[in-house]
Amino acid sequence: MQPTMKTISSKNHKKMKEQSYVWYLFLLPALIGIILFMVYPVLESFRLSFFSSNGVKETFVGISNYTQLILKEEVFWKAIFNTFYMAIFQVAIAVPLGFVIATLINNLPHFKDLFKVLFFIPYITSLVAASMVFMYLFHPEMGPINYLLESIGLPGINWLSDPLSAKWAVIILGIWNWMGFVIVICIANLQTIPAQLYEAAEIDGANSFQKFAYITTPKMMPTFSFLLIMGFIRTLQRFGETYTIGGLEGSPMRSLYTIVGFIYDRGFNGTEYGLASAAAYILFMIIMVVTLINMKLSKMNV
Amino acid sequence: MTSYSNKWKKKKLSNMIITAVLLVAGLLMVAPFIYMISVSLERTANLIPPFPPRIIPEDLSSFNYMLAFESGEIITAYLNSFITTSGGVILGVITSLLGGYAFSKGNFKGKKVIFVIVLSTMMIPFQTRLIPMHRMFYNFGLTNTYWAIILPRMLDGFGILLCKQFFDQLPNSLREAAQIDGGTELNIFRRVFLPLTGPITATLVILSFMACWNDFLWPLIALTKNSLQTIPVYMSSFATQDSNGYLAGLTMATATLSILPIVLVFLALQKYIIESIALSGIKGE
């Protein structure tokens, strides 16, 4: 009896081993994609960042692309400042506001789905198309937003021609576009909090504020951390809307000039491939650091 | 008894107030769409944008839509977006399903290492790869072809992760039964697992459709010919031409047409789309 068992299992083993090659076949498309569109471009971009290159002629320049960006390119610093300014305010407003709205929707007995749809539609809309509409909404004389402000006695704002208010116009557009995502993610995670926790708290005489502060908020910490990370990754790569509204130079007065705008401007308009690659690597580092900080902070809170 | 019914009444009242507040906020969210559609239907909106802003057009007409279609450029843009989006979605779904299956049920050398590489691809921003990608496609003569937009969709780390998690939930006993019957791995995948992938395929199609249709930076760089512009690129070039704001009606009609396909898809599948997004957020942790 025993020998036959052994032969069968060793036969199976051999077959398993042969078949292990088949898995690489399953992985083939993914592997081709990773090598061609990830590994190669990431390494090549890193190499390029140490060269001066216009696509035809290349010379090794060491770290001078990086030093030029950091020490000499004022517009690059401007781009970093603009990008962070808009990123921080968009995330800092959209996450808490979206969370509050999600809590309100989640506690309603009716119309939950209707509200989800209403708040979510902006998220599926292309930011480029939305920018075009918002350019009219923010029109200083004929735009509905100033009309609304003036009708309640507030002064109108020269939204897109003043550097500060232009940034806020983009922030408002960003919040409008992204908050639906925050709401949907928050509702989904609110529903995973076990109802027994609330029931037990009620028996202990907790009011709704206490339940919100001591059960809901701590339970939602991982969700907030996820939203902060996603929000910063999204907003630090901002380009489509600022390019549509402010053009190549991020007008007015480069107030909408972003890091990706810089990469596009210098890399494809100015064919400074080396400098643009260095800027792209700095963006990569920034996103990594911001993500790690967010992860650390959320771990400390939990 | 009375205190109980009072509490109930109070609850009902607060629900009504919350509903009203949410309704106002929700209307604010869709107000830009309402403005866009109403201006697009106003015949005279190209001379003067309607002011004060109104919801119902005074001179209702499809004139701006005729104007938008007149040059035929938007139809070309639709076609370009449709081809690149469907090609990209199909390629991405196939790659993710096969890859996710291998990582979930497969047993091969280097599995862990390759999986870590796949996960790390999600962390690297696209802009870091932008310039070499452009030069690679340019050197192969593939810029200004649909392939430039479709082929990079072969890389979808998040799609692979979602699929792996999906296949992880399917019992291994399914495979073992088929193995005893002597099926090859490819046949087992095709006959046993593929028919079960409906829900995850739908999720992948939805997420990848939204990403492809609205993608802007890469098509802007890889397709420079006007005849190859996708919808977002066409919209953006349209916006820069119209920076004076004198063609509100035409602009709004074009904007409406550009978001119409995705809004229709959303309204038809809203439940699944919202579920897919929620899933991506829960899994994303």
Q: List the single residue in B52, B185, B279 with the smallest CB-CB distance to A147.
A: B52
Please list, residue by residue across A6-27, b when 16 or more beta carbons sit within 10 angstroms of its beta carbon and e when fewer do.
eeeeeeeeeeeeeeeebbeebb
Dump pLDDT digits (tens) for B83-120.
Answer: 999 999 999 999 999 999 999 988 888 899 999 988 88
Q: List the single residue in B128, B135, B266 with the smallest CB-CB distance to A124.
A: B266
Q: List the single residue in B50, B95, B274 with the smallest CB-CB distance to A29.
A: B95
Contacts of B236 (CB under 8 A, 6+ apart): A128, A240, A243, A244, B216, B220
Residue A49 and residue A276: Cα distance in Å, rounded?
A: 8
Taking an 8 Å cut-off on Cβ atoms, the answer to whether A38 and B108 are in contact is no
Pick from A230, A238, A236: nearest CA to A286: A236
Q: What is the pLDDT of residue A50?
A: 97
* DSSP code of residue B171: -
Is the CB of A4 inside 8 Å of chain B's CB atoms? no
Which residue matches tokens 């769409």? Answer: B33
- Cα dihedral value B256, B257, B259, B261, nearest 10: 140
- A59 phi, psi to nearest 5 deg: -135, 140
Is the CB of B37 inside 8 Å of chain A's CB atoms? no
Q: What is the pLDDT of residue A18?
A: 56
Three-state DSSP class for residue B245:
coil
Contacts of B231 in chain A (CB under 8 A): 126
Three-state DSSP class for residue B65:
helix
Question: Distance between terminal CA atoms of chain A?
Answer: 58
Residue A123 and residue A127: Cα distance in Å, rounded?
A: 9
Taking an 8 Å cut-off on Cβ atoms, the answer to whether B127 and A21 are in contact is no
Q: What is the pLDDT of residue A302?
A: 44
Residue B82 and residue B213: Cα distance in Å, rounded?
A: 8
Is the CB of A289 inside 8 Å of chain B's CB atoms? no
Rounded to two decimals, the ipTM of the complex is 0.91
Is the CB of A34 inside 8 Å of chain B's CB atoms? yes
Is the CB of A48 inside 8 Å of chain B's CB atoms? yes
Q: What is the pLDDT of residue B178?
A: 78
Low-confidence ranges of chain A (pLDDT < 70): 1-19, 300-302
* DSSP code of residue B60: B
Dump pLDDT digits (tens) for A134-187.
Answer: 999 999 888 999 999 999 999 999 999 999 999 999 999 999 999 999 999 999
Mean pLDDT of chain B: 88
- Largest Cα–Cα distance of chain B, in whole Å? 81
Token pair of A9 as six digits: 């299992």
Secondary structure, 3-state, A184-247: HHHHHHHCCCCHHHHHHHHHCCCCHHHHHHHHHHHHCHHHHHHHHHHHHHHHHCCCHHHHHHHC
Contact map slice: B 241-260 vs A, CB within 8 A: 243, 245, 248, 251-252, 254-255, 258-259
A59: enclosing H helix or E strand: strand A58-60
Q: What is the pLDDT of residue A141?
A: 87
Low-confidence ranges of chain B (pLDDT < 50): 1, 283-285
Pick from B102, B106, B122: nearest CA to B207: B122
Is the CB of B139 inside 8 Å of chain A's CB atoms? no
* DSSP code of residue B42: B
Question: How near does any CA of chain B get to the CA of A32, in Å?
Answer: 8
- A192 phi, psi to nearest 5 deg: -90, -5
Between the alpha carbon of residue A181 and those of residues A23, A133, A216, B157, B281, the distances in Å are 36, 20, 19, 20, 9
Taking an 8 Å cut-off on Cβ atoms, the answer to whether A41 and B136 are in contact is yes
- Closest residue on chain A to B284 (Cα): A226
- Closest residue on chain A to B261 (Cα): A125
Q: Please say whether the beta carbons of A180 and A119 come within 8 A.
A: yes
Question: How near does any CA of chain A get to the CA of B284, in Å?
Answer: 7
Is the CB of A235 inside 8 Å of chain B's CB atoms? no
Which residue matches tokens 């009242």? Answer: B13
Taking an 8 Å cut-off on Cβ atoms, the answer to whether B35 and A133 are in contact is yes
Contacts of B25 (CB under 8 A, 6+ apart): A101, A119
Contacts of B39 in chain A (CB under 8 A): 136
Radius of gyration over every alpha carbon of chain A, rounded to an integer in angstroms: 26
- A58 phi, psi to nearest 5 deg: -130, 135
CA of residue B30 relative to chain centroid, distance: 19
Taking an 8 Å cut-off on Cβ atoms, the answer to whether B98 and A27 are in contact is yes
Long-range pairs for A67-74: beta carbons < 8 A, 24 or more residues apart: A68/A275, A69/A275, A69/A278, A69/A279, A69/A282
Taking an 8 Å cut-off on Cβ atoms, the answer to whether A128 and B235 are in contact is yes
Q: What is the pLDDT of residue A2?
A: 44
Taking each helix axis from N to C end, the angle separating A74-107 and B2-40, rounded to the nearest 10 degrees, works out to: 140
Taking an 8 Å cut-off on Cβ atoms, the answer to whether B277 and A33 are in contact is no
Three-state DSSP class for residue A118:
helix
Contacts of B259 in chain A (CB under 8 A): 125-126, 129
Q: List the single residue in A176, A184, A268 with the smallest CB-CB distance to B274.
A: A184
User: What's the whole-model pTM score?
Assistant: 0.91
